[in-house]
Amino acid sequence: MPPDVTGRNKLGNTAACTSRIGLTIDEAAEYTGIGRNTLRRLVGWGKIPVLRIGRKTIIRADVMDYFMQLNQGRDLLECEQVRAAD
């Protein structure tokens, strides 16, 4: 869906979340529906590869798509159940 003048599409998602190659933790949380703290935990466990620039953490959007597909039906709060998106 194309964005309107506010930058949001008709579903309420920001255009940046679907057109940018890299997402911050907050943007990735909005994009996937996974909570920010859970995403931070998954990054800390090494399940989601990231790019760190100073204090900023960037996650590639295609990696998030792959991670979601790879872990469909798994409990993301159980480290041993989560498959890494390498």
Task: Assess contact for 24 and 57: CB atoms under 8 A.
Answer: yes
Query: Domain residues for 28?
Result: 22-71
pLDDT tens figures, 3-50: 445 444 444 544 444 578 999 999 999 999 999 999 999 999 999 999
> Is residue 31 in some structural domain?
yes
Strand partners, 56: 53
Q: Residue 66 falls within a domain, yes or no?
A: yes
User: What is the reported pLDDT for 18?
Assistant: 58
Closest CA to 48 of 9, 84, 81: 84
pLDDT tens readout for residues 40-56: 999 999 999 999 999 99
Q: How many domains does the chain have?
A: 1
Please state the φ and ψ torsions of residue 85, each to the nearest 5 degrees. -95, 75
Average pLDDT over residues 61-70: 96
pTM for the whole structure? 0.76
Residue 32 lies in a domain: yes
- What pLDDT shows up at residue 20? 84
